[in-house]
Chain A
């Protein structure tokens, strides 16, 4: 009889350990996905000064746009809070979009090898940022559903596994219906 009790205890302990470890690795995956977003944002900060320098050579009098890009980049890089930072990042995305729209008017600039490379790198970086957010959300969804399921939830609750927040799009243009002008 004591052997059976011992067996039950051992089986329960093994189950507990394996569930706990599985939850930890899911949480680590979320954290890794989150830091991947930061890596990609940093990549964008590093590309912006280069881009501005290149554009300056061809379109120096588009000062306002160039300054707006630099300002947005610096605010984003210095932003502290989550909310503040997300806002600054969106400003930067908008400013860059404007810069590329403006480059359409300068054929020499568009044909510049360096500019073309930078444009490709920035396009790629925008995609990376979007994809890393998407990946963060899907790993978070996996983790969140794992800690809510029975019996995982008992272990999650007693060891302080918290719900991971999802990344949400704050860009106003995604919220409002598109405006059509005639």
Chain B
């Protein structure tokens, strides 16, 4: 029963990752076509060249994300790698779980923050990393630590890490590019070359640019939401359940989640793109719409109840 479940999960995550990459490239090419139409003014080389260049750029970005994404996310989160001598107990807990799951030992990172949180990232179990905040590390007992780390190792084993990493990096890039484009429209659109070029052909091009800017302005936040929606609640429930399958001790993770639910510390290094990766939604500065992020993770009470039902 079990291995089949894991294999289907892995297959699904890989397929979703390929779809995401395809969507990302398609978006770039489509965007290139739009730009080519608007600014090309019938110039064939320009109209073909821009989409091709956009496709090539998307390919390069995907390549960079696949290999460099995890480091980028860890860097963004201010995580620093530690060695076994820095924290033997933490390493022991993770090594034990790696034995239980028959997976390779991930790299271990610490985020120097009093907030309580943890996440895993990487492109596959052989190239994976777990990060835990100093706050969480020091407030958990050995059993609770085991529960949290098992949850993270299950994200690694299921290839949740691949999908969520690509989601955060690629869609994060799109959101950023859309922002830049929209802003350049506001400031450059009126005086830039488009106006000079369009002076002969009238206001048609101008209107199209405004429409594109509008579409992108609407699209950017929607894309940001997609990151959150795609990394759905189901993944968290599954990782919780799989974690108990490893440790055979639901109490450990349940009591860790109870401690996590009491956390009010702000995690400075979390942002809209990385927030869904964490084991619980990080508390962010006001104005960063922390409330909406709750939707990526099921309410903690529900997760704890599900865990405790396993003991009965």
- Within 8 Å of chain B (Cβ to Cβ): is A135? yes
In the bound complex, CA of A21 to CA of B3 (Å): 18
Contact present for B102 and A134 (CB under 8 Å): no
Min Cβ gap A126→B in Å is: 9
User: Please, which residues of chain B bring their CB within 8 A of the CB of A124?
Assistant: 89, 92-93, 95-96
The minimal Cβ–Cβ distance linking A51 to chain B, given in whole angstroms, is: 16
Distance (whole angstroms) from the CB of B4 to the closest CB of chain A = 9
Would B95 and A135 count as touching, CB distance under 8 A? no
- What is the CA–CA distance of A117 and B87 in the complex, to the nearest angstrom? 11
Residues of B within 8 Å of A132, CB to CB, are 99-100
Q: Mark A105-145, 1 if CB is under 8 A from B, else 0.
A: 00000000000010011011001100110110011001000
CB distance B102 to A135 under 8 Å?
yes
Given the complex, which residues of A lie within 8 Å of B287, measured CB to CB? none
Q: Is the Cβ of B99 less than 8 Å from the Cβ of A131? A: yes
Task: Write out, one digit per residue, whether chain B residues 50-94 have a CB within 8 A of any chain A CB (1) or not (0).
Answer: 000000000000000000000000000000000000001100110
What is the chain B residue whose CB lies nearest that of A120? B89
| Interface flag for B101 (CB, 8 Å) | yes
Contact of B100 among A117, A123, A131, A142 (CB under 8 A): A131
Q: What is the total of A-B residue contacts with beta carbons within 8 Å?
A: 39
Q: Is the interface of B mostly helix, strand, loop or mixed?
A: helix
A128 and B88 in contact, given A29-B102, A139-B102 (Cβ under 8 angstroms): no
Q: Check if A142 sits within 8 Å of B3, measured CB to CB.
A: yes
A124 and B98 CA atoms in complex are apart in Å by 12
A138→B2 contact, CB < 8 A: yes
Binding site for B on A (CB under 8 A): 29, 33, 36, 40, 117, 120-121, 123-124, 127-128, 131-132, 134-135, 138-139, 142
Does the CB pair B102–A117 fall under 8 Å? no
Q: Is B97 an interface residue (CB 8 A)?
A: yes
Is B248 among interface residues, defined by CB-CB distance under 8 A?
yes
Contact residue among A29, A120, A139 (Cβ-Cβ distance under 8 Å from B92) = A120
The residue from A33, A134, A139 contacting B248, defined by CB atoms under 8 A apart: A134
Cα A148 to Cα B248 with chains together (Å): 27
Contact indicator per residue, chain B 1-29, by CB within 8 Å of chain A (1) or not (0) = 01100000000000000000000000000
Name which residue of chain B comes closest to A26, CB basis: B3
- Contact residues in B for A131 (Cβ distance below 8 Å): 96-97, 99-100, 246
Most chain B beta-carbon neighbours within 10 Å: one of A33, A36, A117, A134: A134
Beyond A120-B89, A134-B248, A138-B2, whether A128 also contacts B96 by CB under 8 A is: yes
> B88, A120: Cβ atoms under 8 Å?
yes
Nearest chain A CB to B85's CB is how many angstroms away? 11
29 CB-based A-B contacts, threshold 8 Å: A29-B102, A36-B99, A120-B88, A120-B89, A120-B92, A121-B88, A123-B92, A123-B142, A124-B89, A124-B92, A124-B93, A124-B95, A124-B96, A127-B96, A128-B96, A128-B99, A131-B96, A131-B97, A131-B99, A131-B100, A131-B246, A132-B99, A132-B100, A134-B100, A134-B248, A135-B99, A135-B100, A135-B101, A138-B2
